[in-house]
C-alpha cells in the first residue's frame, strides 16, 4: 500500500532538500547524516519497488537506491511542503514532474525503522537488481516472477510447521502473522502441520489462499488496528473488518460455528479453528 501510494509522486521526482532530525533512523546507512544528505540532494528517483518490509527508490544514473524499512511503527507520509508530522525522523522535500512540490515525512514512533542509501545487486535469477540489504528476501506470491513449483519443492524439504515456513522470508515474502493465519484458515490447514507433509493439491490450495487474502487486503487498504499503520495519505486500512480468525478468539468460526482459538506461537499468537484446521500427523 505504501509503495503504490508513493510511486506516482516519486517517479521522476528530484530531491530538493533532506533534513535528518534523528540519526538513529540512519542505523542501516553506511556513513554519517551529512553523507546521506549529500548523496540525495539533487538526485532523482526512478520509481518505487518493494520486497518484504523493505521499500526502495532507485536513484537515476547510479546503481544505488534509497532504502526504507518501516520496522514496527514506521510510516512514510506524503504531504505538501507546509505540512510537518509529529515524530518525523527524516524529511525529504521533492519536486515531482506530475504532482509538483511534495514532502515525504519518515515518521517512526519506536525508531525501529530506517532509511539508507544502498548499492543495487543482481537477484539470483538475474531478472532485476535489488538493494544488497534485500538480496536474501524471496519474491512474494503476487510477484509475476514468483516460481510456484520452486516454492512447492522447497516446502517438501521443510520439517517445520507450515506457518513457520510461511513466515520465513527466505522462502516467501509478504506474509505476516495476520495473513498467515487467514490463509491457513481458508485452506483448512493447522499452523503446526509439517510443511513436508503437505500434498501437492494442499500446497496449491494454500498458495491460492495466500494470494486471495493478500489481494483482498490490498483492495481494502491493508490492516490497521491502531495508529501505527497508515497509508501515505495518513488513512487507515479496513481489512480488519474482514478477518475470519485473526483476533477472533472465542468467537464463532465463520465456516463451522465453533469457537476460534488463540495459541502462543513464536512470541506472538496463532488464531485458528480446531475443528476446521485439524493437525494430521
| More confident call, 231 vs 148 | 148
Q: Is residue 237 part of a domain?
A: yes
Among 25-34, 126-135, 149-158, 184-193, the minimum mean pLDDT is found in: 126-135
Burial grade of 73 (CB within 10 A; 0-12, 13-18, 19 or more): middle
Residues 97 and 172 in one domain: no
To 10 degrees, the CA torsion angle through 112, 118, 120, 122? -50
- DSSP for 55-71? EEEEBTTSSEEEEEE-T
Give per-residue pLDDT as tens, 60-113.
Answer: 999 999 999 988 888 999 999 999 999 999 999 999 999 999 999 999 999 999
Is residue 227 over pLDDT 50? no
pLDDT recorded at residue 270? 96
Instruction: Pull the grid cell for residue 155.
Output: 516446502
Q: From CA 30, how far away is CA 125, in angstroms rounded? A: 27
Q: Is residue 247 part of a domain?
A: yes
- What is the total count of domains within the chain? 2
Give the position of cell 472465542: 250
Whole-structure pTM value = 0.86
User: Which of the listed residues 71, 101, 132 is the one where a domain comes to its end?
Assistant: 132
Q: Is residue 233 part of a domain?
A: yes
pLDDT recorded at residue 233? 62
Residues 41 and 91 in one domain: yes
Residues 107 and 157 in one domain: no
State the residue range of the domain holding 177: 148-272
- Mean pLDDT, the chain, rounded, equals 91
Instruction: Please give the average per-residue pLDDT across 195-209, as a whole number.
Output: 98
pLDDT recorded at residue 237? 46
Residues 123 and 159 in one domain: no
Q: From CA 145, how far away is CA 127, in angstroms rounded? A: 9
In which region does residue 31 sit, left (phi positive, over 0), alpha (psi from -120 to 50) or beta (all else)? left
Q: Is residue 232 part of a domain?
A: yes
Q: Is residue 58 part of a domain?
A: yes
Residues 173 and 219 in one domain: yes
pLDDT recorded at residue 210? 97
Half-sphere exposure at residue 30, Cβ-oriented, CA atoms within 13 angstroms: 7
Q: Is residue 35 part of a domain?
A: yes
- Residue 217: CATH number of its domain: 1.10.8.50
pLDDT band at 241 (very low <50, low <70, confident <90, very high): low
Q: Is residue 246 part of a domain?
A: yes
Half-sphere exposure at residue 132, Cβ-oriented, CA atoms within 13 angstroms: 9
Q: Is residue 277 part of a domain?
A: no
Rounded alpha-carbon distances, angstroms, from residue 140 to 90, 167, 242:
28, 11, 22
Beta-carbon contacts of residue 76 (< 8 Å; ≥ 6 apart): 2, 6, 55, 68, 70, 104, 105, 106, 107, 232
Q: From CA 53, how far away is CA 70, in angstroms rounded? A: 7
pLDDT recorded at residue 219? 84
Residues 127 and 205 in one domain: no
Residues 40 and 70 in one domain: yes
Residues 111 and 158 in one domain: no
Residues 112 and 222 in one domain: no
Residues 114 and 7 in one domain: yes
Half-sphere exposure at residue 117, Cβ-oriented, CA atoms within 13 angstroms: 18
End-to-end CA, the chain: 38
Amino acid at each position: 500500500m505504501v509503495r503504490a501510494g508513493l510511486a506516482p509522486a516519486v517517479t521522476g521526482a528530484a530531491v530538493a532538500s533532506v533534513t535528518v532530525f534523528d540519526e538513529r533512523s540512519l542505523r542501516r546507512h553506511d556513513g554519517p547524516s551529512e553523507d546521506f544528505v549529500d548523496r540525495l540532494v539533487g538526485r532523482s528517483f526512478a520509481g518505487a519497488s518493494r520486497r518484504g518490509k523493505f521499500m526502495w527508490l532507485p536513484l537515476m544514473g547510479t546503481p544505488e537506491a534509497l532504502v526504507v524499512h518501516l520496522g514496527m511503527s514506521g510510516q512514510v507520509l506524503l504531504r505538501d511542503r507546509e505540512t510537518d508530522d509529529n515524530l518525523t525522523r527524516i524529511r525529504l522535500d521533492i519536486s515531482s514532474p506530475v504532482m509538483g512540490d511534495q514532502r515525504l515525512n519518515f515518521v517512526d514512533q519506536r525508531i525501529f525503522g530506517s532509511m539508507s542509501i544502498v548499492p543495487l545487486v543482481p537477484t539470483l535469477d538475474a531478472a532485476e537488481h535489488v538493494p544488497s540489504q534485500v538480496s536474501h528476501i524471496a519474491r512474494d506470491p503476487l510477484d509475476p516472477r514468483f516460481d510456484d513449483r520452486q516454492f512447492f519443492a522447497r516446502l517438501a524439504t521443510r520439517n517445520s510447521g507450515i506457518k513457520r515456513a510461511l513466515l520465513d522470508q527466505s522462502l516467501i515474502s509478504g506474509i505476516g502473522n495476520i495473513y498467515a493465519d487467514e490463509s491457513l484458515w481458508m485452506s483448512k490447514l493447522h499452523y503446526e502441520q509439517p510443511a513436508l507433509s503437505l500434498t501437492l493439491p494442499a500446497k496449491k490450495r494454500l498458495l491460492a489462499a495466500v494470494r486471495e487474502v493478500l489481494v483482498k487486503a490490498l483492495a481494502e487498504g491493508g490492516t490497521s488496528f491502531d495508529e501505527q499503520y497508515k497509508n501515505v495519505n495518513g488513512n487507515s486500512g479496513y481489512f480488519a473488518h474482514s478477518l475470519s480468525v485473526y483476533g477472533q478468539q472465542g468467537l464463532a468460526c465463520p465456516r463451522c460455528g465453533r469457537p476460534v482459538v488463540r495459541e502462543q506461537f513464536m512470541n506472538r499468537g496463532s488464531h485458528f479453528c480446531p475443528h476446521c484446521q485439524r493437525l494430521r500427523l
